[in-house]
């Protein structure tokens, strides 16, 4: 019995590794599908409401138009913020290089030998190359979203017929688990995006005010960057804190001023991310911090930047489906961060 259980565990581990390898190697296929399913889950109530009093295709056109407008607005705001900072870095590259060389020399004087090795490979020219590489990926990003849009179009047309086929083909219990799991997952996705957007706006506004108070250049841009990156848990918050800190060090040429900016930025991120957001989200979206961090890094490895964003929603979907069956309920309870002593929200 013990030997059979060990074999089953080993086979399960091999199956998981094989699935993750397939997802990594086939990112160009599965990543757009995952993104499309996420968008469909969010906009389906709008589609269902519109097609209740409008022709189905007209309702679909309105929904897709709203998706395109939302994406263009978000991309334009993000491009404005990052573009302004990038142009500033390029125009002041010699000055930033000089400050960087001074920092490397200071570290070497204090016995940090690694700084010299790092300095041979990292410089402002390398940083500029990274920025140009990110710009070069714009065409790939546009192609990705075009494919996603096609999947969204087809998916919105198939939801109602697919639901009927599931009830017809599958057994009652299997159909219930699948349909209830999809419905609850979609509801959680919508709540997740609503809360994440609210917290991103608050974070961006507070960082903008903080940058203005300290006299940091590009205050509005830092707020926009914080708003954009806050959609990526942990990694986005870290970058949104690190970038203005480094810029403050270069602008004020004072380590003390930069540390104060860094501390204030971390206070904002901590209060919003660790205190306000969990209370707004409630137990419905409660996932342990370890699982969230693991999901972000895992899906970033598998699918890059998009994986960093979609990792938490995928985890929410998996745990939601686990909750639908008594056989896997324990797994959902184990990975959640629900506070059983408080009243559930939503």
State the average pLDDT for the chain. Answer: 79
Are 337 and 287 in contact by the 8 Å Cβ rule? The answer is: yes
* Per-residue model confidence as pLDDT tens digits over 17-54: 888 888 888 888 888 999 999 999 999 899 989 988 88
Judged by average pLDDT, the poorest of 24-28, 230-234, 287-291 is 287-291
pLDDT at residue 338, rounded to an integer: 59
* Per-residue model confidence as pLDDT tens digits over 163-178: 888 888 777 777 787 8
| Residue 345: φ, ψ to 5° | -110, 145
Are 261 and 242 in contact by the 8 Å Cβ rule? The answer is: no
Q: How confident is the model at residue 292 (pLDDT cuts 50, 70, 90)?
A: confident
Distance, in Å, from the CA atom of 300 to the CA atom of 288, rounded to the nearest integer, reads: 18
333: Cβ–Cβ under 8 A, 6 or more apart, which residues?
none
What value does the mean pLDDT take over residues 270-298? 77
pLDDT at residue 258, rounded to an integer: 83
SS3 state of residue 336: strand
Whether the pLDDT of residue 344 is over 50: the answer is no
Whether the pLDDT of residue 11 is over 60: the answer is yes
292: Cβ–Cβ under 8 A, 6 or more apart, which residues?
233, 234, 312, 315
Q: Residue 188 to residues 99, 282, 303, 314, 332: CA-CA distances in angstroms?
A: 47, 11, 22, 11, 15
Name the residue with higher pLDDT: 249 or 214: 214
What value does the mean pLDDT take over residues 323-336? 70
Distance, in Å, from the CA atom of 317 to the CA atom of 181, rounded to the nearest integer, reads: 8
Q: Phi/psi class of residue 288: alpha, beta or left (left: φ > 0; alpha: ψ in -120 to 50)?
A: beta
Whether the pLDDT of residue 129 is over 80: the answer is no
For 287, which DSSP code?
B
pLDDT at residue 291, rounded to an integer: 81
175: Cβ–Cβ under 8 A, 6 or more apart, which residues?
166, 167
Whether the pLDDT of residue 205 is over 60: the answer is yes
Distance, in Å, from the CA atom of 61 to the CA atom of 156, rounded to the nearest integer, reads: 11
Percentage of the chain beyond pLDDT 90 is 15
39: Cβ–Cβ under 8 A, 6 or more apart, which residues?
67, 148, 152
Q: For helices 124-136 and 56-91, give the axis angle rounded to 10 degrees.
A: 160
pLDDT at residue 341, rounded to an integer: 44
Q: How confident is the model at residue 128 (pLDDT cuts 50, 70, 90)?
A: low
Q: How confident is the model at residue 259 (pLDDT cuts 50, 70, 90)?
A: confident
Are 299 and 322 in contact by the 8 Å Cβ rule? The answer is: no
- At 225, list the tokens: 């960057």
What value does the mean pLDDT take over residues 92-121? 62
Name the residue with higher pLDDT: 326 or 60: 60
Distance, in Å, from the CA atom of 346 to the CA atom of 343, rounded to the nearest integer, reads: 10
Judged by average pLDDT, the poorest of 72-76, 91-95, 246-250, 276-280 is 91-95
pLDDT at residue 242, rounded to an integer: 86
**Which residue from 220, 262, 215, 256 is spatially nearest to 243, judged by alpha carbons?**
262
Whether the pLDDT of residue 113 is over 70: the answer is no
Q: Which residue has the tokens 């990594």?
A: 24
* Angle 34-238-211 from CA coordinates, rounded to 5°: 120
pTM of the model: 0.80
Q: Which residue has the tokens 């961060």?
A: 337
Distance, in Å, from the CA atom of 82 to the CA atom of 278, rounded to the nearest integer, reads: 29
pLDDT at residue 138, rounded to an integer: 55
């Amino acid at each position: 019995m013990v030997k059979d259980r060990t074999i089953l565990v080993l086979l399960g581990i091999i199956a998981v590794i094989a699935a993750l390898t397939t997802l990594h190697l086939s990112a160009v296929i599965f990543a757009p599908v995952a993104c499309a399913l996420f968008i469909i889950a969010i906009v389906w109530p709008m589609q269902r409401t519109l097609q209740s009093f409008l022709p189905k295709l007209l309702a679909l056109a309105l929904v897709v138009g709203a998706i395109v407008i939302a994406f263009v607005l978000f991309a334009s705001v993000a491009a404005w913020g990052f573009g302004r900072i990038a142009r500033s870095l390029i125009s002041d590259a010699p000055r930033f290089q000089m400050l960087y060389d001074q920092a490397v020399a200071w570290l070497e004087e204090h016995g940090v030998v690694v700084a010299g090795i790092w300095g041979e490979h990292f410089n402002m020219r390398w940083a500029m190359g990274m920025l140009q590489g990110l710009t070069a990926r714009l065409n790939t990003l546009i192609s990705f979203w075009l494919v996603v849009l096609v999947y969204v179009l087809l998916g919105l047309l198939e939801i109602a017929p697919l639901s009927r086929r599931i009830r017809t083909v599958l057994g009652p219990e299997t159909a219930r688990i699948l349909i209830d799991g999809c419905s609850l997952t979609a509801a959680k996705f919508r709540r997740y995006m609503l809360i994440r957007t609210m917290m991103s706006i608050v974070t961006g506004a507070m960082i903008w005010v903080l940058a203005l108070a300290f006299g940091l250049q590009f205050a509005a841009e830092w707020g926009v960057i914080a708003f954009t990156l806050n959609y990526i848990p942990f990694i986005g918050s870290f970058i949104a804190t690190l970038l203005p800190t480094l810029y403050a060090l270069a602008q004020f040429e004072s380590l003390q001023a930069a540390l104060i900016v860094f501390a204030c930025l971390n206070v904002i991120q901590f209060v919003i991310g660790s205190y306000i957001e969990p209370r707004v989200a409630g137990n419905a979206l409660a996932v342990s911090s370890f699982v969230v961090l693991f999901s972000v890094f895992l899906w970033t490895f598998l699918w890059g930047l998009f994986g960093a964003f979609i990792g938490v929603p995928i985890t929410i979907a998996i745990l939601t489906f686990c909750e639908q069956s008594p056989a896997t309920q324990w797994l959902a309870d184990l990975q959640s961060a629900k506070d059983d002593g408080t009243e559930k929200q939503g």
